[in-house]
């Protein structure tokens, strides 16, 4: 039985099952996040819109989640919950996060750690409440955690084995991470520097070096080797980035719609009044990191001291990749180009977990498919003086992190996307009526859009008869059982249909208030007064007050057969 529990497939299977159950529970409670639903609606459009096309995945978000959701969304006719309850999104994030748990486990087995300690560290990561939440909500955090855990593990192996297979796998992992979040480009740059420096400074003990065992080869030889290894590492992410940005530019005329597009971060920040920046933003970012991983500073110092004592270079990989990502998030906050969200610093939990795995003395030799010319044996690694005490202390730091994360997630200030979940816990009995209602309002978000979708479905409307912009209207399309009913911006005839809706068979136009992000809504841009008076193209059919948080009211206008004016 014990040997079965140690198998990687068992670790992955148990984690997947747990996260899938958590996701079903969360969505059953009505906890959805907008980015997840928007990605899922893009996947739905690829397959079931009026004019299905792969380009409908959009370019505001990186494509990994949406692409992985496509096979599951294809089952929607038989399993409506794939879109109606976001089960496709939940499945993707759950499986990727289970993959991150597996990579944590394999990092420990690579180091030959004893099973009780490895099980404890893996469980503390897997059961961290932020990890569980984002495993079960369909967001990009799960795929990103998996990719970064895989990349760091393979780089740590490469720094020991000098095996090109480990180097290639690390490069592929970073490329996968880029397809989940642009932050991976920072990890790619940090990893490239690490690979180049380590390869250039390695002493070649293999045959053909020509300088004797343990001596440095010629600078020219070392430079060529460093360049080769760096190219191998960067090639996958370079191809992924070039293809993605080129496709975005050719399709939309914008290299990065997520950054500069009308639906991108810059537009959202501008329409919402911006975010804090400068030193206050830096302080808030550091606080969020410490709330997620209060043991990070202590373990970082311990691991650095041990790395010097052991003459170990593999411990530098998590510092450069994870540290680089966290530094990038802090810098983004300082210049005011990002949002103050706890999830943006979730990699801190993975960082502190991997550091905890590097504290115990590694045991045994690291197996490699094809060791390079300069593998680094670890048979002479210095042992810890008090391994049990050190191990228990490391586990306590991780446990404290799980507790502080749980507490932080109940705070609107530090966890604006997660704090509402406390209303579904025993903590609700201690809340005053106003606070409890505020949290329940957040949990009711998207219920209005669901009711509106059901209302339109009940009218049995023909294809292309409801026009809307997906800035705020994407949940209506997603929750509808007939997505082909809607004319959306990804349709090739959207602009012409918007200009003369009656001539193109449109019966209804869905409008939102022309304030905040609604000012950039395509319907409001074309008909600036439609919210107030129908702009001469429609008569008010239905007003839908929104009982969720952060979402606008809707007005449904019946298109006039003959526009006024």
Closest of 487, 494, 497, 502 to residue 564, by C-alpha:
502
pLDDT of 90 reads 98
Give all strands (DSSP E) within 25-101, no chain letters.
none
Taking the C-alpha atoms of 143, 488, 467 and 451 in order, what is their torsion angle to the nearest 10 degrees? -10
Residue-range domain boundaries for the chain: 2-408, 447-559
pLDDT of 270 reads 60
pTM comes to: 0.93
Residue 377 binned pLDDT confidence (cut-offs 50, 70, 90): low
Over residues 246-260, the mean pLDDT reads: 78
pLDDT of 378 reads 58
283-303, pLDDT tens digit by residue? 999 999 999 999 999 999 999
What's phi and psi for 426, nearest 5 deg?
-60, -15
Over residues 413-420, the mean pLDDT reads: 92
**Secondary structure of 520-534 in HEC code, one letter for each residue:** HCHHHHHCCCHHHHH
Residue 388 has pLDDT above 80, yes or no: yes
Residue 259 has pLDDT above 90, yes or no: no
Q: Is residue 346 within 8 Å of 329, Cβ to Cβ? A: no
Over residues 62-71, the mean pLDDT reads: 95
How much of the chain is in helix, strand and coil states, percent to nearest 5? 65, 5, 30
Distance between CA 166 and CA 151 in Å, rounded?
9
Render the burial of 267-294: b for 16+ CB within 10 Å, e for the rest: bbeebeeebeeeeebeebbeebbbbbbb
188-243, pLDDT tens digit by residue? 999 999 999 999 887 665 544 444 455 667 778 888 889 999 999 999 999 999 99
Separation in Å, CA 341 to CA 157, 220, 265: 33, 47, 13
445-479, pLDDT tens digit by residue? 999 999 999 999 999 999 999 999 999 999 999 99
The number of CA neighbours under 13 Å toward the Cβ of 330 is 18
pLDDT of 459 reads 94
Mean pLDDT check: name the lowest of 31-40, 386-395, 442-451.
Answer: 386-395
Residue 185 has pLDDT above 60, yes or no: yes
């Amino acid at each position: 039985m014990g040997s079965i529990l140690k198998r990687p497939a068992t670790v992955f299977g148990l984690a997947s099952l747990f996260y899938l159950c958590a996701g079903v529970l969360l969505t059953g409670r009505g906890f959805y996040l907008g980015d997840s639903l928007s990605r899922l609606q893009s996947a739905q459009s690829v397959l079931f819109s009026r004019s299905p096309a792969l380009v409908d995945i959009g370019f505001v978000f990186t494509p990994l989640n949406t692409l992985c959701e496509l096979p599951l969304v294809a089952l929607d006719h038989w399993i409506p919950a794939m879109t109606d309850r976001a089960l496709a999104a939940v499945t993707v994030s759950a499986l990727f996060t289970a993959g991150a748990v597996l990579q944590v486990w394999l990092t420990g087995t690579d180091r030959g750690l004893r099973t009780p300690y490895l099980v404890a560290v893996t469980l503390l990561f897997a059961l961290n409440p932020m990890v569980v939440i984002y495993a079960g909500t369909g967001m990009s955090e799960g795929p990103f955690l998996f990719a970064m855990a895989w990349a760091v593990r393979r780089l740590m192996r490469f720094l020991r084995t000098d095996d090109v297979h480990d180097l290639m796998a690390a490069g592929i992992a970073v490329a996968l991470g880029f397809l989940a979040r642009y932050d991976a480009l920072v990890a790619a740059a940090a990893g490239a520097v690490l690979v180049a420096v380590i390869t250039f400074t390695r002493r070649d003990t293999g045959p053909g070096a020509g300088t004797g065992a343990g001596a440095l080869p010629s600078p020219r030889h070392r430079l060529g080797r460093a360049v080769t290894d760096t190219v191998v590492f960067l090639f996958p992410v370079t191809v992924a980035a070039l293809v993605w940005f080129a496709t975005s530019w050719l399709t939309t005329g914008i290299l990065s719609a997520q950054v500069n597009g009308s639906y991108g971060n810059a537009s959202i920040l501008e329409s919402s009044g911006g975010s804090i920046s400068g030193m206050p933003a830096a302080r808030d970012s550091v606080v969020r990191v410490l709330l997620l991983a209060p043991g990070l500073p202590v373990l970082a110092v311990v691991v650095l001291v041990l790395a010097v004592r052991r003459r170990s270079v593999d411990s530098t990989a998590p510092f450069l990749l994870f540290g680089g990502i966290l530094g990038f998030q802090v810098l983004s906050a300082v210049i005011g180009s990002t949002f103050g969200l706890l999830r943006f610093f979730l990699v801190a939990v993975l960082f502190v977990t991997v550091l905890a795995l590097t504290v115990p003395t590694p045991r045994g030799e690291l197996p490699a498919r094809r060791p390079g010319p300069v593998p680094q044996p670890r048979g002479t690694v210095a042992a810890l003086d008090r391994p049990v005490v050190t191990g228990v202390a490391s586990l306590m730091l991780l446990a404290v992190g799980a507790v502080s994360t749980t507490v932080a997630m109940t705070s609107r200030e530090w966890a604006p996307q997660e704090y509402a979940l406390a209303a579904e816990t025993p903590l609700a009995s201690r809340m005053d009526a106003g606070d409890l209602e505020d949290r329940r309002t957040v949990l009711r978000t998207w219920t209005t859009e669901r009711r509106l979708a059901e209302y339109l479905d009940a009218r049995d409307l023909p294809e292309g008869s409801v026009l809307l912009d997906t800035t705020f209207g994407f949940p209506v399309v997603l929750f509808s059982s007939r997505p082909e009913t809607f004319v959306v911006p990804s349709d090739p005839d959207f602009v012409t249909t918007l200009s003369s809706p009656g001539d193109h068979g449109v019966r209804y136009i869905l409008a939102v208030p022309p304030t905040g992000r609604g000012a950039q809504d395509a319907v409001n841009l074309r008909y600036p007064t439609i919210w107030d008076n129908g702009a001469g193209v429609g008569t008010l059919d239905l007003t839908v007050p929104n009982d969720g948080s952060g979402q606008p009211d809707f007005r449904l206008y019946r298109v006039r057969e003959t526009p006024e004016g």
